[in-house]
Amino acid sequence: MKPIYFAPLAAALAVLVPNHARATIQGVTGTSFNLTAREDTISTGDGDSMYMWGYALDNRRMQYPGPTLIVNQGDGVTVRLSNKLPVPVSLVFPGHNVTATGGVPGLLTSEVPAAPSTAVVTYTFTASEPGTYIYYSGTRSDLQVEMGLAGALIVRPRGAPKQAYGDPRTAFDREYLFFLTEADPAIHQLVAFGKLAQVDMTARHPVDWFINGRNFPDTVQANNVRYLPTQPYNCFPRMHPGEKVLLRMVSAGVDLHPFHTHGQNHLVIARDGRLLSSNLSVPNPIPDLAISDYTTSAVPGETVDAIWGPWTGAKLGWDIYGTANLRPHNCTPDATGFDPASHEWCADHYKPIPVLLPTPSELTHGNFYGGTAYLGIPGGLPADNPGARMQQNLVGGVSFMWHSHSERELTTNDIFIGGMATMAMVVPMNVPIP
């Protein structure tokens, strides 16, 4: 991954980086998209490669998942699909009223015939309601979704790009995509060898689990790394104390996944692009049926919007930025006792963590332990510590694992730890977040 910029300790909280909002979900914006169904391979966390079918943007390589299409509420959206695969393919957009032209009629929608047909099917719809949506092949979907023909669609509310929906209660500081899938490599091998007739989807036995097309720990590598050319999207949520993080969860496989956020609950505000609201008939419904959970059922084909945070270390009983001897800093409370600059609770100012922590040499720790419990104070980790060597957490962030709580899904082809997992990191206010 790209090392995160680390401000010297002496500068500590004196240099505050303005919290400029950035689009943290990679994707393609616009209203008109050209997709092509193609074959290619991806890399899995066990060192293997897997033959895939997927959607490619324009003339690029296919990617897993397909390009995240980002549009605005009210847009008329056009998606043109071409096909380089030896089987017919198509596109369905659940939750949208789609008109398809060209190609040949299928059971769910119009289909593009197998290559070498040069036919193009044009799918048009109006993105009338904001939210998180899914698209996938509506042709022999059981096999083609398994092979990778699926992607995410994000519709931003009109005039409110930093909200998930029209209501201000759905505002977020940062957003991340969680596109959840699973795969059975044996099926991919049969398809790669041209033995389609031997594929029996009732005998499917997935052993690989993905977020945004990657297994952990590839999920926390950077977007668009050269060694994952067909898996461009990472899933590495980072935030400052006090920020709200929107999880856009898209469950594209066929198994249920109990998705769990360590650290604190997330508030489920919507499913399938519709707010959890007792009255959806008003122009901007409110999420009055939102549910606070630490584990959310990701249901195949469905989407979930959930807000995690803000995490401020409230009521921890110790200073998240460290004690006076480790880092001199001020806490200037507002009327509620919160420092709006450093995003800490002054009631715990300079209080040490109330237990005696073992020294780094007495611990076995993973890539994400910064060496101390305090934000922005990396400890003196041994040189051979994986955290020091792999530079996952040079900024002294506090990390929480977000993952499927079906524990066998934390493996990649029987290798622990892998699969449907990632790390979410709270970093000090002075550390910029890409």
Partner 1 sequence: MTSLIQIGFPRRTVLVPLLSLGALLGSSSAPAATRDVFLRVDQFQIPANAFGNAAPITMWGFIQTDATFTPLPGAVASAPGPALQATEGDTLNLHVMNKLPTASATVYTEPISVVIPGQTPVLAPGTWPTWTDGTKGNRAGSLQRVRSFTTETATGATSIYTFANLKPGSFLYQSGTHPAVQVQMGLYGCLSVLPVAAGQAYGDASTAFDSEVTLLFSEIDPAQHASIAAGHYGPNPPVPAPADWLTSTINYLPRYFLINGAPWKPGALPIPAGVHGKKLLIRFLNAGLQSRVPMLQGAYALIVGEDGNFLTITDPAGRVVPAARQQYSVLLPAGKTIDAIVTTPAVAGRIPVYDRRLALSNGGAASPGGMLVHLETH
Q: Give the one residue of 80, 96, 240, 343 binding partner 1; rule: CB under 8 A.
A: 96
If one asks whether residue 276 binds partner 1 (CB under 8 A), the answer comes out as yes
Q: Give the one residue of 192, 256, 353, 415 binding partner 1; rule: CB under 8 A.
A: 256
Q: Give the one residue of 29, 189, 278, 359 binding partner 1; rule: CB under 8 A.
A: 278
Among the residue ranges 21-29, 240-248, 266-274, 340-348, the one whose residues contact partner 1 (CB under 8 A): 266-274
φ, ψ of residue 158 to 5 degrees: the values are -60, 120
Distance CA 104, CA 25 (A): 34
If one asks whether residue 356 binds partner 1 (CB under 8 A), the answer comes out as no
Token look-up 């066998």 returns 408
Q: Interaction with partner 1 in 108-137: which residues (CB under 8 A)? A: 108-109
Q: How far is the CB of 272 from partner 1 (least distance, A)?
A: 4
Q: Which is nearer to partner 1, 70 or 108 (CB)?
A: 108
Distance CA 219, CA 212 (A): 8
Q: What tokens were used for 372?
A: 């101390």
Give helix then strand counts, H and E, for the chain.
3, 28
Residue type, 304: V
* Cα atoms in the 13 Å half-sphere on the side-chain side of 80: 8
If one asks whether residue 347 binds partner 1 (CB under 8 A), the answer comes out as no
If one asks whether residue 257 binds partner 1 (CB under 8 A), the answer comes out as no
Q: What tokens were used for 2?
A: 């790209």
> Is the distance from CB of 418 to CB of 410 less than 8 angstroms?
yes
Measured on CA atoms in the order 317, 320, 321, 323, is the torsion positive or negative? positive
Q: How far is the CB of 426 from partner 1 (least distance, A)?
A: 32
Q: How far is the CB of 397 from partner 1 (least distance, A)?
A: 35
Binding residue count for partner 1, defined by CB under 8 A: 39
If one asks whether residue 186 binds partner 1 (CB under 8 A), the answer comes out as no
Q: Interior CA angle at 329 toward 327 and 331, to 5°?
A: 140
Token look-up 């995160």 returns 4
Residue 190: count other Cβ atoms within 10 Å of its Cβ. Answer: 18
Q: Give the one residue of 13, 62, 89, 92 binding partner 1; rule: CB under 8 A.
A: 92
Residue 315: count other Cβ atoms within 10 Å of its Cβ. Answer: 8
If one asks whether residue 383 binds partner 1 (CB under 8 A), the answer comes out as no
Q: What does the DSSP assignment read for 393-424?
A: -TT--EEEEEEESSGGGGEETTEES-SSEEEE
Alpha helix locations (H) across 132-269?
141-147, 185-192
Q: How far is the CB of 405 from partner 1 (least distance, A)?
A: 16
Q: Give the one residue of 200, 283, 315, 335 binding partner 1; rule: CB under 8 A.
A: 200
Burial class (CB in 10 A: 0-12, 13-18, 19+), 407: exposed
Q: How far is the CB of 69 from partner 1 (least distance, A)?
A: 17
Q: Interaction with partner 1 in 300-339: which residues (CB under 8 A)? A: 300-302
Q: Which is nearer to partner 1, 28 or 280 (CB)?
A: 280
DSSP 8-state secondary structure symbol assigned to residue 214: B
φ, ψ of residue 221 to 5 degrees: the values are -75, 170
Q: How far is the CB of 46 from partner 1 (least distance, A)?
A: 25
Among the residue ranges 56-64, 78-86, 252-260, 368-376, the one whose residues contact partner 1 (CB under 8 A): 252-260
What binding mask, one character per residue, do residues 202-231 give for partner 1 by CB under 8 A, x or -? Answer: xx----------------------------
If one asks whether residue 95 binds partner 1 (CB under 8 A), the answer comes out as yes
Q: Give the one residue of 37, 42, 91, 145 binding partner 1; rule: CB under 8 A.
A: 145
Q: Interior CA angle at 152 toward 148 and 154, to 5°?
A: 170
Q: Interaction with partner 1 in 34-73: which residues (CB under 8 A)? A: none
Positions in the binding site for partner 1 (CB under 8 A): 92, 94-98, 107-109, 138, 140-143, 145, 196-197, 199-203, 254-256, 271-274, 276, 278, 280, 288-289, 297, 299-302
